[in-house]
Amino acid sequence: MIFPVTTAFFAGLFGLLYVGLSSWVVGGRVSNDVLFGGGGDSLQRRIRAHGNFSEFVPLALLLVAFLEAGGTKHWIVQALLVVLLIGRILHPFGLFAPKNSPQQFACRGGGILTTLIVLLISSILLLV
């Protein structure tokens, strides 16, 4: 078994991104004087971007780490992690895009799609 060095590095990047999203939510709560709950549309979107990240990224990182530890080719591991990172960066921008706009489709849709693709490919590779 190999220590998943590449996944560990990306986990650090995702940790920084998570801190950024958390700070973004806290800033929204402070500026809108909201201690609990959604506090309006803008804050609710921040909360969902943060929540969506925390719901999907840990499992995706774990699956890719298993692949890396199991000896999957390095370029496959890197590709999965880069795609996941791009998707998770795009997603919050899509939440604030105008409804049914190209930006919403590209960013939010792209963020969701890339995350699901990484989960699907990683899961399949682990099973075969």
Q: What pLDDT, on the 0 to 100 scale, is given for residue 92?
A: 83
Provide the whole-model pTM: 0.88
Q: What pLDDT, on the 0 to 100 scale, is given for residue 93?
A: 83
Q: What digits encode the pLDDT tens for the residues 9-46?
A: 999 999 999 999 999 888 888 887 777 767 777 788 88
d(CA 126, CA 70): 9
Enter the CATH code of domain 5-127.
Answer: 1.20.120.550
pLDDT < 70 stretches in the chain: 37
Nearest one of 31, 41, 115 to 81, comparing CA atoms: 115
Q: What pLDDT, on the 0 to 100 scale, is given for residue 70?
A: 94
CA–CA distances in Å: residue 99 to residues 14, 45, 93: 27, 13, 12
Q: CA angle, corner 48, sides to 65 and 95, nearest 5?
A: 100
Could you tell me the residue ranges of all domains in the chain?
A: 5-127
Q: What pLDDT, on the 0 to 100 scale, is given for residue 20?
A: 93
